[in-house]
């Protein structure tokens, strides 16, 4: 039975389009006493206080040391994060690259004074000036975590060998267990998933000339949508809630989907027969940045949290918990947390150059003169999910 998620919420939250000009609010000059709380919009699993697993808690000691109570609102998609930041009432957001530039252009976030973040010097040099949080040399956030969008699969359905291609979720076929993939695979419920189709086409249809999965002309874009319409006939559920996807792999017969290492780790910990792979076509990915709202009510606690977020023991433990890569490389090796050099390698620390990180599609693009902008991705992906 089809279990397609209702996309009305996604549609309502996604229609935030790049606005002209960038935020010009003055950055803070000094950090004062904490205001008593900090309100954060974050991805599931990013800010833990030991409630899911007692071994993972990087909130309690921060609250004790600073007097800043950490309040977290979990968001399931980048579009939801943008919508929440547009509504206001939050201080920080852990934004991926397909949200961060929209937040900057929409003047929803403020410049960050890196001189007020003592641990900035420990950040990975590849991330310090990353284009998804740096505009005209001005930083609008503190790097947090990064990683690939992996292909998660059920090892009993792929007994002899892991899948080598994303085709198991894009094209109808019988899987190694002899059963069709129809109704047994999932896809991400967010317009940015169009980039995954484009990434697949970059490998299998080089004649399309796709240079970046986020920079598509009309013909390239049409090819990606056509592939997604094929996928639509296979998908049992479009997922955006990590915990619902976990339940679907446990109880609903799902055997393959694009996913995050977070879900893979939790399922493995629960002895569910899953594993993950980056197939031959490569992968999209995310590099997340902690950004501060332009009208943050608790800026001092916000700066305290951003400094805390770069502590290598937090970065190390979060890297283990989420299956991601720390923005502070020392977290892999200094022994202050649970992570090891081997663990970071397994999480893809050396694959940085192979990942096409999420970014916001715009009409004026680098690889070619005109590209399909994000607002089209939003409306057309809703159409694909709806069977159009």
Mean pLDDT of 250-278: 94
Residue 295 CB neighbour total at 10 angstroms: 15
Tokens of 120: 């900035």
- CA nearest to 95, candidates 105, 109, 106, 107: 109
- In the chain the first and final C-alpha atoms are separated, in Å, by 19
Residue 1 binned pLDDT confidence (cut-offs 50, 70, 90): very low
Residue 243 has pLDDT above 70, yes or no: yes
Which percentage of the chain shows pLDDT scores above 90? Answer: 83
Residue 303 has pLDDT above 90, yes or no: yes
Residue 17 has pLDDT above 60, yes or no: no
Residue 230 binned pLDDT confidence (cut-offs 50, 70, 90): very high
- Given this model, what pLDDT does residue 333 score? 96
Burial of 135 (0-12, 13-18, 19+ CB in 10 A): middle
Residue 265 binned pLDDT confidence (cut-offs 50, 70, 90): confident
Residue 6 has pLDDT above 80, yes or no: no
- Given this model, what pLDDT does residue 366 score? 84
Mean pLDDT of 38-58: 95
Mean pLDDT of 90-111: 94
Q: How many CA atoms lie within 13 A of 333 on its CB side?
A: 6
Residue 351 has pLDDT above 90, yes or no: no
> Can you tell me the distance from the alpha carbon of 378 to that of 278, in angstroms, rounded to the nearest whole number?
26
Residue 36 has pLDDT above 90, yes or no: yes
List, for residues 162-214, the tens digit of each pLDDT value. 999 999 999 999 999 999 999 999 999 999 999 999 999 999 999 999 999 99
Provide the mean pLDDT of the chain: 91
Residue 128 has pLDDT above 50, yes or no: yes
Domains in the chain, please, with CATH?
8-147+285-355 (3.40.190.10), 148-284+361-385 (3.40.190.10)
> Can you tell me the distance from the alpha carbon of 13 to that of 5, in angstroms, rounded to the nearest whole number?
15
List, for residues 274-286, the tens digit of each pLDDT value. 999 999 999 999 9
Residue with tokens 């039975």: 1
- Given this model, what pLDDT does residue 18 score? 41
Of the given ranges (18-27, 88-97, 175-184, 239-248), which has the lowest mean pLDDT? 18-27
Residue 248 CB neighbour total at 10 angstroms: 20
Sorted by sequence, the CB contacts under 8 Å of residue 341 that are 6+ apart come out as 332, 333
Burial of 131 (0-12, 13-18, 19+ CB in 10 A): exposed
Tokens of 242: 């990590």
Mean pLDDT of 215-243: 96
Burial of 40 (0-12, 13-18, 19+ CB in 10 A): buried
DSSP lists the bridge partners of residue 259 as 150
Sorted by sequence, the CB contacts under 8 Å of residue 70 that are 6+ apart come out as 37, 38, 40, 47, 49, 59, 62, 63, 305
Residue 25 binned pLDDT confidence (cut-offs 50, 70, 90): low
């Amino acid at each position: 039975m089809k279990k397609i998620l209702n996309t009305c919420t996604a549609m309502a939250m996604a229609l935030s389009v790049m606005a002209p000009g960038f935020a010009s609010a003055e950055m803070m000059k000094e950090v004062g006493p904490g205001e008593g709380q900090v309100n954060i919009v974050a991805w599931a699993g990013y800010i833990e206080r030991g409630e899911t697993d007692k071994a993972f808690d990087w909130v309690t000691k921060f609250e004790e040391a600073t007097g800043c109570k950490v309040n977290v609102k979990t968001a399931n998609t980048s579009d939801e994060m943008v919508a929440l930041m547009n509504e206001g009432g939050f201080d920080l957001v852990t934004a991926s690259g397909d949200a961060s530039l929209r937040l900057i252009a929409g003047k929803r976030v403020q410049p960050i004074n890196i001189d007020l973040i003592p641990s900035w010097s420990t950040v990975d040099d590849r991330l310090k000036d990353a284009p998804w949080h740096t505009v005209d040399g001005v930083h609008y956030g503190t790097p947090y975590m990064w990683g690939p969008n992996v292909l998660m699969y059920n090892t009993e359905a792929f007994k002899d060998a892991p899948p080598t291609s994303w085709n198991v979720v894009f094209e109808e076929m019988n899987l190694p267990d002899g059963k069709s993939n129809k109704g047994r695979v999932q896809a991400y419920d967010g317009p940015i998933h169009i980039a995954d189709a484009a990434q697949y086409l970059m490998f299998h249809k080089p004649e399309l000339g796709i240079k970046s999965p986020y920079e598509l002309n009309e013909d390239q874009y049409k090819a990606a949508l056509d592939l997604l319409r094929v996928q639509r006939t296979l998908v049992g559920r479009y997922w955006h809630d990590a915990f619902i996807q976990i339940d679907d792999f446990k109880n609903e017969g799902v055997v393959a989907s694009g996913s995050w290492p977070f879900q893979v780790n939790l399922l493995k910990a629960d002895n569910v027969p899953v594993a993950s792979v980056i197939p031959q076509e490569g992968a999209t990915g995310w590099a997340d940045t902690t950004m501060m709202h332009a009208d943050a009510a608790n800026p001092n606690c916000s700066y305290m949290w951003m400094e805390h977020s770069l502590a290598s023991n937090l970065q190390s433990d979060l890297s283990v918990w989420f299956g991601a890569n720390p923005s502070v490389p020392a977290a892999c090796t200094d022994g202050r947390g649970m992570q090891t050099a081997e663990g970071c390698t397994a999480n893809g620390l050396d694959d940085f150059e192979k990942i096409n990180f999420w970014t916001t599609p715009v009409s004026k693009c680098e690889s070619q003169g005109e590209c399909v902008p994000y607002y089209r991705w939003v409306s057309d992906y809703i159409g694909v999910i709806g069977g159009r």
